Structure 1
Amino acid sequence: MPLTPDMPPDLFVASTTILAVFLGLLVRVDLREKRLPDRYTLPLIVMGLVLNAYVQAAVPTGEIWGAIVGYLAFWALGGLFFKLRGQEGLGLGDAKLVAAAGAWLGLEALPMVVLISALGALGFALIKQNKRTEQLAFGPWLAAAFLILWIARVEAI
Structure 2
Amino acid sequence: MPVSFLPLFGVLLGLIIGSFLATLVLRWPENRSAIGGRSMCDSCGHQLRAGELIPVVSYVLQSGKCRECGAQIAPDHLAIELSAGLIGGLALFVTPGLEGLVGAIFGWLLLTLAALDVKHHWLPDQLTAILAITGLLASIITEYPALLDRLIGGFAGFALLALIGGIYKRIRQREGLGGGDPKMLGAIGCWLGWQMLPLVLLGASAVGIMVVISWKVRGEAVTARSMLPLGSLMAIAAFPIWLYQSAASALFY
Shared fold (TM-score, shorter chain, > 0.5): yes
- CA distance in 2: counterparts of 1:43 and 1:87, whole angstroms: 29
Q: Are 1:65 and 2:125 counterparts?
A: no
TM-superposed deviation, 1:69: 0.5
SS at match of 2:97: helix
Counterpart in 1 of 2:235? Answer: 143
Q: In the comparison of the two structures, how many residue pairs are matched?
A: 150
Query: For residues 108-143 of structure 1, what are the alpha-carbon distances to aligned partners after superposition, in whole Å with 9 as ceiling and x for unaligned?
Result: 111111111111112211331322222111111100
**Structure label with greater radius of gyration:** 2
1:154 maps to which residue?
Answer: 246
Deviation at 1:37, TM superposition (A): 0.8
Higher RCO (CA < 8 A, seq sep 6+): 1
Q: How does 1:23-62 map to 2 (within 5 A)?
A: 23-56=110-143, 60-62=147-149
Instruction: Report SS of the residue matched to 2:177.
Output: coil
- Rounded to whole Å, the distance in 1 between the matches of 2:155 and 2:140 is 16
Say if 1:98 and 1:142, in contact at 8 Å, map to a contact too: yes
1:3 aligns with none
**1:86 deviation in Å?**
2.1
User: 1 or 2, which has the higher helix percentage?
Assistant: 1
How far does the alpha carbon of each residue in 1:71-102 deviate from its partner, in whole angstroms, 9 at most, with x for none? 00001111111112222211231111111111
So what's the TM-score if we normalise by structure 2?
Answer: 0.55
In the alignment, which residue of structure 2 is the partner of 1:5?
Answer: none
Aligned to 2:192: 105
Compute the TM-score of the two structures, normalised by the length of structure 1.
0.87
What does residue 179 of structure 2 align with? 92
Q: Which moved more, 1:102-111 or 1:48-57?
A: 48-57
Letter of the 1:138 counterpart:
L
Give the drift of 1:53: 3.8
* One-letter identity of the residue aligned with 1:99: G
Question: For residue 146 of structure 1, what is the amino acid of its counterpart?
Answer: A
Question: How far apart, CA to CA, are the structure 2 residues paired with 1:131 and 1:50?
Answer: 41
Q: Percent of counterpart pairs with the same letter?
A: 27
The aligned amino acid for 2:149 is G
**More moved, 27-36 vs 9-18:** 9-18
| Partner SS for 1:88 | coil
Q: Which letter does structure 2 place at the counterpart of 1:91?
A: G
For 1:153 and 1:56, the matched residues in 2 are separated by 12
Stretches of structure 1 that go unaligned for 5 or more consecutive residues are 1-7
Separation in 1 of the partners of 2:140 and 2:166?
32
What residue in structure 2 maps to residue 127 of structure 1?
A: 214
Which runs of structure 2 are paired with 1:77-88 in the superposition (5 Å)? 77-88=164-175
Cα contact 1:75–1:91 (8 A) shared by 2: no
